[in-house]
Amino acid sequence: MVWPFKTKKRKQIARIEITGAIAAETRKRVLKALETVKTQKFPGLLLRIDSPGGTVGDSQEIYAALQRLREQENVKVVASFGNISASGGVYIGVGADHIVANPGTITGSIGVILRGNNLERLLDKVGVSFKTVKSGPYKDILAFDRETTPAEIGILQELIDTSYSQFVQTVAEGRNLEVETVKTFADGRIFTGQQALELGVVDRLGTEEDARRWLIEMLELDPEKTKCQTIEEKKPLLSRLVSGRIQTKKSQIGAALDWVEFELATNGQPLWLYRP
């Protein structure tokens, strides 16, 4: 039998994690989780961010969904920055009502980067060349078998500058700062949570638990009694059992391969990403 009434979570808060590089899969998962926050009527959301950033469009869509949740559903949102919350992680974070960071959190990296690969000399050595037929002079911009021309560099720089302006404007609006003030530290530099507090990028220094308690106090609930429900995709039982064992054995090589996959998938795209 299907229960005819929707379950409401007015005495609980929701928790969503954003970890690793932000790309299409992150966006899909987070948007689905935000929809759950909306439909189940959670009054507050604790957003845990531990990410170096990622793709521009995916970061913008998550930010926009957070804004809708706050404005249309009156959900209070507190972001908690973990080990690292940089670039696209910052962009998403400023979509919250408040931000809490650890003193040593690595954050900042407000800016845009776009990289392409030039394999021209390698291809010459192995005797491989490409014949290209195109509809316009810039259709194969950032092609890996030749140098980028000065005209193409100009086009790409204009694209980067536009994306950068969008980033700076959003940070300024989200943190109630002047655009020119944001530009003084939005040059790609990273800084600690302590420095971010001084710059106005975060509101408080503290742990995720501090962020949780602040959110609950904002909602006038009891921090000792209010449950915090992490919203994540449910996996089949067998998958959960197997993945638990695999996770304990996941090597640095596996993590490196994940990063290489992200690099290949986003090659030639403008990114809001901190690259150590």
Helical H runs in 120-221? 120-126, 150-175, 179-183, 193-199, 208-218
| Cα distance between residue 118 and residue 59, in whole Å | 28
Among the listed residues 11, 32, 139, 227, the single catalytic one is 139
139 counts as catalytic: yes
For residue 23, which of 78, 79, 92 has the smallest C-alpha distance? 92
| Cα distance between residue 35 and residue 69, in whole Å | 9
Task: Output DSSP code: residue 149.
Answer: P
Half-sphere exposure of 24 (CA within 13 A, CB side): 4
H/E element, 242: helix 237-249
Residues 271, 55: contact at Cβ < 8 Å?
yes
Q: Detail the DSSP E strand segments found in 36-189.
A: 44-51, 53-55, 76-86, 98-101, 106-108
Among the listed residues 59, 80, 85, 87, the single catalytic one is 87
Q: Hey, is 241 helix, strand or coil?
A: helix
87 counts as catalytic: yes
- Residues classed as catalytic: 87, 139
